[in-house]
Amino acid sequence: MKHNVGIITVIYSTNCGSVLQALAMQDAYSKLGCNVSFISTINKLSALSYKKEFKDVIKALVSRSSPGAVIKRYRDSRQFIREHFHIVDPSGAERFDLLSIGSDTVWDVTSPYFLESQDVFWGLPWDGSKIVTYAASIANSPYETLDSLKYPCESIKKYANISVRDDYSFEYITSRTDRVPCKVCDPTLLKDRSFYQGFCRSMEEAGTYLLLYLFDTPSAAVVDEIKQYAADNSLKIVSLGRRMPFADMHYESTVVSFLSCFNGASAVVTNTFHGTVFSLIFHKRFVVLDYQKKKIENLLHDLALDQRIVGAGIEAVLNEDIDYTSVESKFSELRASSIGYLEKCVQD
């Protein structure tokens, strides 16, 4: 008999990394013979709210960019979620054989969004249900803030199985409880590029290009380096998500455009975790602008690719080859151990 699994994570988001980790989790549980649904985590602070869309459209009008493109991004994001996920109200969660919390920073007790739905993200209403976690994270929540709340430790002690994706969350749990979590990979790494290429479209109109996936505009010196590298290699500059004024082309970040842009790029400049992850998945030359993100540093250190994080000198790093045979070997080990953890969750 198939297990019915209810996943508790972030899916109502314009952040493609959040949606893609949910997609990968769904596929992983499905491959284990489970029926998969998602417990609704939408609230008034969700990134896909109509209030947020209205604000972004006004911002686009004021900045004289394209409000139509913003509206299309929200429309396409909602459509992708409707087409690929079965979502149920939290009131129906007790019917599931297994509730799976994570991935993502679902335990961030400094985030207004996560605090708004803290009962759901910690599984508080379902005390009698079997609850496991996959790659759940406290983000950068101060330990003292977590300690001031009663439910984090009480909840963690009751979970049937616990896994985290980062050292900071691991150390919090082991120092506050007698539980020792498994360390697993980010869900997006459970799948290889052939899985994601099934969602890609042609990027023929962009030609050959250098992709910029950045959460903020780089310094003038780095912009000059980006332009020089593109010119030296006869590449257009394409920005994704945040619009870069010096880019030749720009794409709004939806799941399809995100995956397509990474798949078609000749090289990537990013400062985000999932920008790094998908550069690796699609076997791209890439650099990470130093943003002091521990999860990026940990990932690249485990792959012996620390040198891809730069403050300057991007051209030299982009010209260095990456041994993707070695990277895929390490990914295979990570996937196998992480899938093994999920198998244990389903079978226990």
Give yes or no for residue 254 having a pLDDT over 70.
Answer: yes
pLDDT digits (tens, 9 = 90+) for 30-41: 999 999 999 999
Q: At a CB cut-off of 8 Å and minimum separation 6, what does 308 contact?
A: 276, 286, 287, 288, 300, 317, 322
**pLDDT value of residue 231:** 97
**DSSP secondary structure of 214-260:** -SSPPPHHHHHHHHHHHHHTT-EEEEESSPPTT-SEEE---HHHHHH
Mean local confidence (pLDDT), 141-146: 94
- At 104, the pLDDT band (50, 70, 90 cuts) reads confident
| Contact by Cβ (8 Å): 261, 203 | yes
- At 1, the pLDDT band (50, 70, 90 cuts) reads low
The reply to whether the predicted model has a pTM over 0.85 is yes
Percent of the chain surpassing pLDDT 70: 99
Give yes or no for residue 343 having a pLDDT over 80.
Answer: yes
Q: How far is CA 68 from the centre of its chain?
A: 26
Give yes or no for residue 107 having a pLDDT over 90.
Answer: yes
**pLDDT value of residue 27:** 97
**pLDDT value of residue 86:** 95
pLDDT digits (tens, 9 = 90+) for 326-335: 999 999 999 9
**pLDDT value of residue 47:** 82
Mean local confidence (pLDDT), 104-108: 91
Q: Which segment, 10-14, 60-64, 69-73, 282-286, is predicted with the most confidence on average?
A: 282-286
Angle between helices 167-176 and 294-302 (to 10 degrees): 100
- At 93, the pLDDT band (50, 70, 90 cuts) reads confident
pLDDT digits (tens, 9 = 90+) for 43-56: 888 888 888 878 88
Q: Can you name the residues that pair with 38 across neighbouring β-strands?
A: 7, 87
Give yes or no for residue 323 having a pLDDT over 90.
Answer: yes
CA distance between the termini of the chain: 14
**pLDDT value of residue 2:** 76
Q: Which two tokens stand for residue 97?
A: 């054989």
Q: At a CB cut-off of 8 Å and minimum separation 6, what does 307 contact?
A: 317, 320
**pLDDT value of residue 292:** 66
Lowest mean pLDDT among 1-10, 62-71, 165-174: 62-71
Lowest mean pLDDT among 72-81, 108-117, 157-166, 318-327: 72-81
* Average pLDDT value over all residues in the chain: 92
Distance separating alpha carbons of residues 107 and 102, to the nearest angstrom: 9
Residue type present at position 99: L
pLDDT digits (tens, 9 = 90+) for 68-92: 888 888 888 899 999 999 999 999 8
Q: Which two tokens stand for residue 63?
A: 């900045």
**pLDDT value of residue 216:** 87
Percent of the chain surpassing pLDDT 90: 75
Q: In terms of pLDDT, which residue wins out, 66 or 136?
A: 136
**pLDDT value of residue 291:** 67
pLDDT digits (tens, 9 = 90+) for 201-239: 999 999 999 999 998 889 999 999 999 999 999 999 999
